[in-house]
Amino acid sequence: MLDRLQRRLGLQTIPAVFFTSAGTAFLFVVLAIPFQHEVSRSFGLLTAWVAGNLGWFYILSVSALLVFLLGLAVSRYGEIRLGADDSRPDYSNLTWFTMLFAAGIGTILMFWGVAEPISHFGDPPFDGVVADSAGAARDAMTISLYHFGLHTWTIFAMPGLAIGYFAYRHDLPMRISSLFYPILGERAFGPLGWAVDIIAVLGTLLGVATSLGLGTLQLSSGLTYLFGIPATGTIWVLLIVLISGIAATSVALGLDKGVRRLSQLNILLAMLLLGFVLVAGPTVFIAKGMVQSIGDYLDALPWLSFWTESFNGTDWQRRWTLFYWAWTISWAPYVGIFIARISRGRTIREFVFGVLFAPTAFTLIWFGVFGLSAIHVEMSGQIGLAEQVRADPSVAIFAFLQALPWTELASLLSVIIIVIFFTTSSDSASLVIDMLTRREDQPSLVRQRIFWAAAQGVIAATLLLAGGLDALQNVITSLGLPFCVLLVFMAVSLFRALRADYRGYTVNDLVKGRAFPEVEASPSSRQESTYVSEAADRN
């Protein structure tokens, strides 16, 4: 039946994955619109249960995956390439980094670069720390860097590395289900594999919709500051339509013409805004505070990585750390596939160090400039930022820019950067979802990519109208859990495959139990995969 429907609509998909994902998203929207309060309350209860009973699993999983990735990078497997042994990277390091930044964390930095440090400065999470004190400032910066540093990029790097390895070295389809071939065997190309891809599609839709919703709130605040336009549901919907329309145009142009050019433009604009704040703000204070903040972050990283708020009796982690981890995990399939697409030819060591440390270094600089500047504004009494951010985090960057010269120009530049960041996130996600829902031998149809871009906008509007920021946080914290489990199994599958590869065997040999003879083969005797055409036929 689904095959006939696909032919009638003129689509090129895996029917079970495409129609199940689209149908589930449609059902969510249909139920959420008339039953907004009931849906919001249900997800609130589910989030409370997940945080109370399984929050520790989020914390432990992400920290363990960070250790796992670093271990791979420095191990004997670090020299294995994402591709043939003689392959080389498709993109230069600079281009690679700009695309990583724009598609991964750029949207997050614009929203939380001021909002998070100033929130923790005015409302410290640790007992005995006085608000607006030097201790509160140090903790605020440390926690912000923890949330957006190595751990965030671990969540993106894990699926990116696994996808790049299996796709380019073993020619498996670039889908999440392919990563489980060493565990599931042939079942990875049937209903079990389809279920994995459906989870990835839905997670990506909701994760990017959450980002789009946060961006809409922030843009609405910017328009209020610049032009006095009130923040209403109608304005939110119009902004989502605008961003989705731009994203649809970009996604129709493809990766190189659309995402690549927008990414390069946006990194230049972001650097311009960063340089302006550094020069116009308290430059010496920023430099001194940045050095100290990096030291504080590295010093606190070991215990923060395993801190579960066991003895506090509060729900702070649910509102902050667990939300961030679940949010990042939910859109990790899309970011992972996107990173994999631009990382062919790199060694595992280059990939891990590049994806973990280059964006983290930029994050340290970004929070150092914006976060420390905002704290300085609050401490000097120029503007009551903490009070405004406590009421509405989306106003943070625009309220902060009022303390600097050329406020209107800087705010307008911020609005442009936000629009482009969220556009690149949306169109990158649309490209990836299209890949997850079709076979590799099928063409990528523009109308399918546009459909997914529109779906993200509709879900974002639904979540915003159903409860705003609280609804976005509750839905993501609840639904990020299934893919968190998949991330753990993904690491197991990748390690099994790397062991077989290093000993000179294919993943197909691993599945059939031929990969680990008593006498280890020489690494130079690695074979080309022989199961590729069979896998393509099955898909």
User: Cα-atom radius of gyration of the chain, to the nearest Å?
Assistant: 23
Number of domains the chain contains: 1
Under 8 Å between Cβ of 404 and 148: no
- Contact partners, residue 31, CB within 8 Å, separation at least 6: 39
Under 8 Å between Cβ of 89 and 346: yes
In a domain, 448, yes or no: yes
In a domain, 531, yes or no: no
In a domain, 524, yes or no: no
In a domain, 509, yes or no: no
Per-residue burial over 266-297, b if 16 or more Cβ lie within 10 Å, else e, is bbeebeebbebbbeebbeeebeebbebbbebb
CATH number reported for the structural domain that contains residue 339 in this entry? 1.20.1740
Prediction pTM value: 0.86
Task: Using alpha carbons, select from 472, 432, 511 the residue that is nearest to residue 173.
Answer: 432
In a domain, 535, yes or no: no
> Both tokens of residue 62?
């992400």
Which helix (H) or strand (E) segment holds residue 294: the answer is helix 283-304
Per residue of the chain (539 residues), give pLDDT as tens.
888 888 888 888 999 999 999 999 999 888 887 777 777 778 778 888 888 888 899 999 999 999 999 999 999 999 999 998 889 888 888 878 877 765 556 677 888 899 999 999 999 988 889 998 999 999 999 999 999 999 999 999 999 999 999 999 988 988 899 998 888 888 888 999 999 999 889 888 888 888 788 788 888 888 887 788 888 878 888 888 888 887 777 766 655 555 566 667 777 888 899 999 999 999 999 999 999 999 999 999 999 999 988 887 778 888 899 888 988 888 888 888 888 988 999 999 999 999 999 888 988 999 999 999 999 999 988 888 888 888 888 888 999 999 999 999 999 999 888 888 777 777 778 888 888 899 888 888 888 888 998 898 888 888 777 766 566 667 777 778 888 999 999 999 999 999 888 888 777 777 776 655 433 433 433 333 343 444 444 44
In a domain, 530, yes or no: no
> Both tokens of residue 100?
């990583």
**Domain assignment of residue 105, given as a range:** 2-494
In a domain, 104, yes or no: yes
> Both tokens of residue 33?
């619109």
In a domain, 166, yes or no: yes
Task: Using alpha carbons, select from 136, 111, 112 the residue that is nearest to residue 378.
Answer: 136
